[in-house]
């Protein structure tokens, strides 16, 4: 089982989101909120999920990273990133 399950660049914000398994021996994250952890590598935002399916579903979203939410809430900036 791999510690890092997924690492992908989000098209909307240009940030990298990584999916971690807290059951892995190398784990450094608190598993209390859920086994699967998604991290916005650019902003350091962390969000726990109970299932890998939920984590995968939410990984491309910006609802759990305030910085990314800020980008999405700024129409001009969002537009410039999307069109870049
Ligand atoms: Zn972010």
**How far, in Å, from the CA of 22 to the mean position of ligand 1?**
20
| 56-61, Cβ contacts within 8 angstroms, sequence gap of 24 or more | 56/6, 56/19, 59/6, 59/8, 59/17, 59/19, 60/8, 60/10, 60/12, 60/17
Specify burial of residue 44 (Cβ count, 10 A radius: 0-12, 13-18, 19+). Answer: exposed
CA of 84 to the centre of ligand 1 (A): 18
Q: What confidence score (pLDDT) does residue 14 get?
A: 76
Q: Chain-wide mean pLDDT for the chain?
A: 82
Q: pLDDT for 49-79, tens place per residue?
A: 999 999 988 887 667 888 888 765 666 665 6
- pLDDT for the residue 73: 61
Whether 4 has a pLDDT exceeding 70, the answer reads yes
Question: How far does the centroid of ligand 1 lie from the alpha carbon of residue 18, in Å?
Answer: 11
Element (DSSP H or E) covering residue 39: strand 36-40
């Amino acid at each position: 089982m791999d510690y890092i399950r997924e690492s992908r660049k989000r098209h909307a914000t240009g940030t990298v989101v990584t999916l971690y398994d807290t059951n892995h021996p190398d784990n450094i994250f608190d598993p209390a909120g859920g086994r699967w952890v998604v991290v916005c590598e650019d902003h350091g935002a962390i969000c726990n999920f109970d299932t890998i399916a939920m984590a995968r579903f939410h990984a491309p979203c910006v609802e759990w990273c305030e910085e990314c939410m800020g980008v999405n809430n700024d129409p001009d900036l969002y537009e410039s990133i999307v069109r870049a």
